[in-house]
């Protein structure tokens, strides 16, 4: 059974850097065709895709946030870490991590998010 859990600070100040950890079980980030991604949702608004870390170390980022985001494997083999720099109140959101898998026979653009964590709420305020 695949499970994921997000953790991190609930309140951060503007201009600071946010570091979120996704702890998962039931799979390995190095399994062929697997990915771990991050998505956020501001209060009352739509989902926004942020980043994806592929099993082979390749990464993809939201073009609008590319310069502020970094996704890496954590110090533990069952963790993925997302950092978002230069925070602004508009970054206030619930942040989700997800397990992604590649459709058999397809390439890196054909991943889908099949299991999600419950999310962690982050407020950016001074």
Partner 1 sequence: QSVLTQPPSVSGAPGQKITISCTGSSSNIGTNFDVHWFQQLPGTAPKLLIFGDNNRPSGVPDRFSASKSGSSASLAISGLQADDEADYYCHSYDNSLGGWLFGGGTELTVL
Q: Which residues bind partner 1 (CB under 8 A)?
A: 39, 46-49, 52, 60-63, 96, 103, 106, 109-110, 112-119
- Report in angstroms how near the CB of residue 118 gets to partner 1 at its nearest: 5
- Report in angstroms how near the CB of residue 16 gets to partner 1 at its nearest: 25
Q: Are strands 11-12 and 69-73 parallel, antiparallel or unpaired?
A: unpaired
Q: CB-hemisphere CA count at 13 Å for 66?
A: 6
Our CB check for partner 1 shows the closer of 16 and 62 to be 62
CA distances for 1 relative to 23, 41, 114, 123, angstroms:
14, 25, 12, 31
- Report in angstroms how near the CB of residue 62 gets to partner 1 at its nearest: 5
Our CB check for partner 1 shows the closer of 78 and 121 to be 121
Our CB check for partner 1 shows the closer of 16 and 65 to be 65
Instruction: Supply φ then ψ for residue 27, to 5 degrees.
Output: -160, 170
b/e map 16-52, b = 16+ CB within 10 Å: eebebbbbbeebebeeebbbbbbbbeeeeeeeeebbb
Our CB check for partner 1 shows the closer of 52 and 82 to be 52
- Report in angstroms how near the CB of residue 37 gets to partner 1 at its nearest: 8
């Amino acid at each position: 059974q695949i499970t994921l859990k997000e953790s991190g600070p609930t309140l951060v100040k503007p201009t600071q850097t946010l570091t979120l950890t996704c702890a998962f079980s039931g799979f390995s980030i190095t399994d062929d065709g697997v990915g771990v991604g991050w998505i956020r949702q501001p209060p009352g608004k739509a989902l926004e895709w942020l980043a994806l870390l592929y099993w082979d170390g390749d990464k993809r980022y939201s073009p609008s946030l590319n310069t502020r985001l970094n996704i890496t494997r954590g110090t533990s083999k069952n963790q993925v870490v997302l950092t978002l720099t230069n925070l602004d109140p508009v970054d206030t959101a619930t942040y989700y991590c997800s397990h992604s898998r590649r459709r058999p026979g397809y390439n890196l653009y054909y991943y889908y998010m099949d299991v999600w964590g419950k999310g962690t709420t982050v407020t950016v305020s001074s």
